[in-house]
Structure 1
Amino acid sequence: MHRTNMAKLGPDGLPILRAGDNKILKPADWTPPDLARVIARA
């Protein structure tokens, strides 16, 4: 899940924000975390 959240940062290390409401955006190549794998390891 950490990888997924860090993908939302730009090259400068800051979140990619939408103009107007400052919502954090996901990049085009963003993929959701594999929660089943995380739970299976726990």
Structure 2
Amino acid sequence: MTTKVTLRQKKISKGRQSLYLDFYPAIPHPETGEPTRREFLGL
């Protein structure tokens, strides 16, 4: 099964933007194993 990945942005305070990867379908989180659709890049 292939996973579709899209780079998305979200507005946050003071006019800044947060970048994250949006996965479809959800993938297991690397630390918890729970299904997740987002991975924030923290740039």
Question: TM range, normalised to the smaller chain?
Answer: under 0.3
TM score, norm. by length of structure 2: 0.26
Q: Kindly name which structure, 1 or 2, has the bigger radius of gyration based on alpha carbons.
A: 1
TM-score normalised to structure 1 length: 0.27
| Higher RCO structure, 1 or 2 (CA under 8 Å, sep 6+) | 1
Q: Which has the higher strand share?
A: 2
More helix by share: 1
